[in-house]
A and B are shown apart, each in its own frame.
Chain A
Amino acid sequence: MKPVALSLNILVAAIAAFKFYRAGAFSWSLFWPFALTSIPFAFLGGWVTLPGHYYKPLVGAVLIYTAVYSFRSANRVEAATNTHAPVFLRLLIGAALGFLSGLTGVGGGIFLSPLLLLLGWVPIKVISGVAAAFILVNSIAGLLGVLQTAVTLPPALPYWALAAVAGGFIGAEYGSRRLANPVLKKLLAIVLAIAGGKMILTI
């Protein structure tokens, strides 16, 4: 199912990235250092297999902590943001997150979003836009790697693709333009909590 997951991720992330970009919720200067190092390191991480009982509790705890933080800060007025974080630091984070995403087999955005949220460099809508593009490039890189092996696709794939595209369009439309930031933060907190809980419960 890995090529299916990556293909659907590409579809949805492409829609989300485009929509957030058009809504002005994107920062090239923030994005490119992350992408530059994450792509090759995602390949590297894919070569390594780590037992789930090592990384899942750690990632789950981080996600739940970020969920609580995000929910509690949902109604807080955003402080001044700093979009001029050092390029070297972003290259380093991109490499680490790319490697981690390759290692764990999930989209890199699952780590980038909470990190950007905690660091508070940019508004949450820009985090969404940057994370979408980050997932897009990492999923493309991952799929290209998977396609080097023998791949069989299930017959239901067109239906799943249709569902992914429909959900992607509706979510991106409301998420990038119409939902208020506190609503986005609370939604993100719920998603983070679910992802974190799932990580811990499926050890």
Chain B
Amino acid sequence: METSDAILAILILLAALLYSSVGHAGATPSSAIAAR
């Protein structure tokens, strides 16, 4: 796995954590991917 992929994995984890806490799509994994 490349560094950029690993960074994206961390972003996805944080986004998923925030998203499932508040149930808001602004922090879904797709947002992390869009912000890549």
Hey, which bits of chain A sit against chain B, CB under 8 A?
Answer: 1, 4-6, 8-9, 11-13, 15-16, 19-20, 63, 106-113, 127-132, 135, 154, 156, 159-160, 162-172, 174-175, 179, 184, 187-188, 191-192, 194-195, 198
B25-A8 in contact (CB<8A): no
7 smallest CB-CB distances across A and B, nearest first, come from: A128-B23, A167-B16, A195-B26, A175-B21, A171-B20, A8-B29, A5-B30
Query: Could you pull out 9 A-B pairs where Cβ atoms are within 8 angstroms?
Result: A8-B30, A9-B25, A12-B28, A12-B29, A63-B26, A106-B25, A156-B5, A164-B12, A174-B21
Residue of B at shortest CB range from A7?
Answer: B29
Quote the shortest CB–CB distance from B11 to chain A (angstroms).
8
Hey, which bits of chain B sit against chain A, CB under 8 A?
Answer: 1-2, 5-6, 8-10, 12-31, 33-36
A82 to B20, CA, bound (A): 24
Residue of A at shortest CB range from B34?
Answer: A5
A20-B23 in contact (CB<8A): yes
A19 to B33, CA, bound (A): 24
A164-B13 in contact (CB<8A): yes
A30 to B6, CA, bound (A): 39
Q: Which of B1, B8, B13 has the most CB of A within 10 A?
A: B13
* A-B CB contacts (within 8 Å), total count: 148
B17-A167 in contact (CB<8A): yes
A111 to B28, CA, bound (A): 13
Quote the shortest CB–CB distance from A140 to chain B (angstroms).
14
B24-A171 in contact (CB<8A): no
Quote the shortest CB–CB distance from A8 to chain B (angstroms).
4
A9-B29 in contact (CB<8A): yes
A198 to B27, CA, bound (A): 12
Residue of B at shortest CB range from A194?
Answer: B26
B20-A132 in contact (CB<8A): yes
A15-B20 in contact (CB<8A): yes
